[in-house]
Structure 1
Amino acid sequence: MTTAASTPTGPATAPRSVPDRGAPPAHLVDHLARFAESVAGVCRLGVAFSGGVDSSVLLALALRELGPDRVLAITGVSPSLAARDRSRAASVADHLGAHLLEVRTHEIDRADYRRNDPDRCYFCKDELFSVISDELVAEHGLDAVAYGENADDALRPDRPGAGAAAEHRVLRPLADAGLDKKAVRELGRWLDVPTAETPASPCLASRIPHGQEVTAEKLAQVEAAEDAVLALGIPEARVRHHGDIARIEVPVEHLATVVAAHSTLVAEVRRAGFRHATLDLAGLQSGLFTLDALGLRRAQP
């Protein structure tokens, strides 16, 4: 059940026709047939849509199979969604010709989410799928909801959100079609998905160490500090929240860029609410806190 009412934040974008991309990559034809089988019989599909590569390819394939009038992209808006990611999702949906609906979710009001245990993602996904099922399914005539788990995700032990999806009977067409991340990106290029090569962009709460409370204030600090780092032209960055310390992670090839801009960046990080700005020489480490919590930290090269 949802913990608080959630309302649309804006009207659906107007769809356009889905262009013909020609023949798909030959080695993915069987996978695409399995995808088609997974949504066969669905009259109207809701797609949990973040604008990242997985949900974008899922949306593009759903539009290809069902048509724009039978697909609704749904973006959950909360303090854990960076404004840059919200804007990207709207842009991608428009590019693909999809109807988009934004809804407010309130995972930040749930104590089990704020507690920030390694299973935090379960409560976030449970909130999103509860809002969709309680408030959108009947109103928009949805008879199924899908999300962008791929075949690689299905094998990972650090994906508690998958449990919430299963409980809500949410479809996972990419995983069921055997499409791994490499195949998803390849399909993204074929389908002209703008985020086909975009790095992963997990929610802002992933920057807070497990066991430390997630708050809207901390999420806003992280977002502002990351915006400052990304403004340097660095394609991917994380700012880890360690109390009054911001630990900046960027790909190792961009460490020098951060150092060169240190005066400006320190000022921006302090303006975001931190006292200290540090640069992690190990570089960008995606999923760091969850891997630590599960004892799965990858060895540094």
Structure 2
Amino acid sequence: MDKLTQLQTLFAEMEQALIAYSGGIDSTLVAKVAYDVLGEKALAVTAVSPSLLPEELDDAQTQAETIGIRHELVETQEMDNPNYTSNPVNRCYFCKSELHDTLKPLAIARGYPYVMDGVNADDLQDYRPGIQAAKERGARSPLAEVGISKADVREITKQLGLSWWDKPSQPCLSSRFPYGEEITVAKLQRVGRAEIYLRQQGWKKLRVRSAGDTARIELPPDKIKDFVIATDLAQLTAKFQGLGFMFVTLDLEGYQSGKLNRVLEKAETR
């Protein structure tokens, strides 16, 4: 039995499903397969907060409409929790706690036995404290349960004919800040607008890391030279300074997911 069939079988056995749906490629695949199997018994719910890029919310709504699944929005209040805004190394634990403390009562009230998330098999090999928070609240991870990796997610999404199969990963905006730096709504909006600006210039896979008043742009290594040649650097700098950054830098190593976790690896070797 192939992995897509396994996923379909899993949802058929559940009979109904509420999906924690961010609009990312992982949770969108969960939503798509859930809807294909369960129809109106599948519900996608997106948590709206300052850590979600506006364009990501737009994508989530468009993708849900394309799939056909029922889609609702709820607001989460992680910014009210100092355990989150102080940005400790386990910040994601408090984010996912807020998410699932919001979604679980909704699921119970609507008669859904579980909340499903988009955690894939690869995520289990990374430092993801949010996974623990979700498990503590009874959430299930269908992709991980049937051994679907990130590469599998893209392949299955492409197989299903969905145009966003190669969509770049887009974790929440709080991941742009080094651990220990306080997270504020203004900082989230600043880095979010900076990334939107760069995407509007044609650069799709990127991060704008923020440390104090400094913005550090990360692009795939093979795009760095093109970026420097094609970009009006003075105009870019002026744009970022207009957003509130004082300094604008380019990471010469290039984009790498989870790069900020290096400080944790370094601490473990001491």
Deviation at 1:254, TM superposition (A): 2.5
In structure 2, the residue matched to 1:201 is: 170
Aligned partner of 1:262 among 212, 215, 233: 233
Compared with structure 1, are the counterparts of its residues 170 and 232 closer, same or farther at alpha carbon in structure 2 (3 Å cutoff)?
same
Question: Which shows bigger deviation, 35-44 or 69-78?
Answer: 35-44
Structure 1: unaligned runs, 5 residues or longer: 1-28
Matched, 1:228 2:200: no
* 8 Å Cα contact 2:48/2:73 also seen in 1: yes
Deviation at 1:114, TM superposition (A): 0.9
Q: Distance in 2 between matches of 1:240 and 1:108?
A: 19
Matched, 1:107 2:78: yes
Deviation at 1:242, TM superposition (A): 1.3
In structure 2, the residue matched to 1:120 is: 91
* 8 Å Cα contact 1:115/1:211 also seen in 2: yes
In structure 2, the residue matched to 1:8 is: none
Question: Which shows bigger deviation, 39-48 or 221-230?
Answer: 39-48
Aligned partner of 1:44 among 3, 7, 16: 16
Deviation at 1:282, TM superposition (A): 1.1
Which has the larger helix fraction?
2
Deviation at 1:166, TM superposition (A): 0.7
Aligned partner of 1:155 among 120, 125, 128: 125
* 8 Å Cα contact 2:85/2:182 also seen in 1: yes
In structure 2, the residue matched to 1:66 is: 38
In structure 1, the residue matched to 2:114 is: 144
Amino acid at match of 2:123: D
* Overall identity of the aligned pairs, in %: 37
Q: Distance in 1 between matches of 2:163 and 2:68?
A: 12
SS of equivalent to 1:166: helix
Q: Distance in 2 between matches of 1:253 and 1:202?
A: 22
Normalized against structure 1, the TM-score is what?
0.83
Q: Distance in 1 between matches of 2:267 and 2:154?
A: 25
Matched, 1:78 2:46: no
Deviation at 1:42, TM superposition (A): 2.6
Aligned Cα RMSD in Å? 1.8
SS of equivalent to 1:152: helix
Q: Distance in 2 between matches of 1:92 and 1:190?
A: 16
Amino acid at match of 1:90: Q
* 8 Å Cα contact 2:78/2:95 also seen in 1: yes
Q: Distance in 1 between matches of 2:34 and 2:267?
A: 34
Compared with structure 1, are the counterparts of its residues 203 and 189 closer, same or farther at alpha carbon in structure 2 (3 Å cutoff)?
same
Q: Distance in 1 between matches of 2:163 and 2:264?
A: 33
Amino acid at match of 2:118: G
Deviation at 1:146, TM superposition (A): 0.4
Deviation at 1:31, TM superposition (A): 2.3
Normalized against structure 2, the TM-score is what?
0.93
Q: Distance in 2 between matches of 1:127 and 1:235?
A: 29
* 8 Å Cα contact 1:207/1:239 also seen in 2: yes
Matched, 1:240 2:244: no
Compared with structure 1, are the counterparts of its residues 56 and 200 closer, same or farther at alpha carbon in structure 2 (3 Å cutoff)?
same
Q: Distance in 2 between matches of 1:138 and 1:182?
A: 33
Q: Distance in 2 between matches of 1:51 and 1:125?
A: 16
Aligned partner of 2:69 among 66, 80, 98: 98
SS of equivalent to 2:121: coil
Residue-pair matches, total = 266
Q: Distance in 2 between matches of 1:170 and 1:263?
A: 48
SS of equivalent to 2:71: strand
